[in-house]
Amino acid sequence: MADKIKSPVDLLALAEKAKAEVELRSGAKDIKVTVHMGTCGIAAGAREVVMAFLSEVSNAGLENVTVHQAGCAGLCEMEPMATVRTADGSLYHYGHLEDRSRVREIVRSHLAGGTPVTEYLIKTPQA
């Protein structure tokens, strides 16, 4: 039997705790990370990259980021790849993200701090 909610404070606490349950469905956020998961991407470890982004985003406490998956970006030699779309619509393509530390750096520097990690970028931003 679930615990009784005894006060408004309890209620808020439960809401906070349960938030993760529905977070994925909460609609468009400011920043969208798309991990490219074509056959080659998956072979190169794209699934792990998705999970890495999710947990890093969650660790960093970022609430304005959603992580999506999409098909092959067409640059197989750069896989695994991810595209970051920021609130202003700019696109940043990152490549070779096998190493989780790269994901961590992108999350901290770019998603949280607003500074793209140029080192891992494949292309310069497009309008």
- Could you tell me if 117 and 101 are in contact, meaning their C-beta atoms sit under 8 angstroms apart? no
Quick one: 4 or 127, whose CB is closer to another protein?
A: 4
What are the angstrom distances between the C-alpha of 109 and each of 16, 31, 94, 102, 105?
27, 13, 13, 10, 6
Q: How far apart are CA 4 and CA 32, in angstroms?
A: 38
Binding segment (CB under 8 A) for another protein, from list 6-14, 83-91, 96-104, 114-122: 6-14
Is residue 43 involved in binding another protein (CB under 8 A)?
A: no
Is residue 77 involved in binding another protein (CB under 8 A)?
A: no
Is residue 61 involved in binding another protein (CB under 8 A)?
A: no
Is residue 31 involved in binding another protein (CB under 8 A)?
A: no
Q: How far apart are CA 72 and CA 86, in angstroms?
A: 20
Quick one: 11 or 87, whose CB is closer to another protein?
A: 11
CA dihedral 102→104→105→108, nearest 10 degrees, is 160
Residues that bind another protein (CB under 8 A): 1-8, 10-12, 14-15, 18-22, 24-25, 27-28, 35-39, 41-42, 46, 50-51, 54-55, 58, 66-72
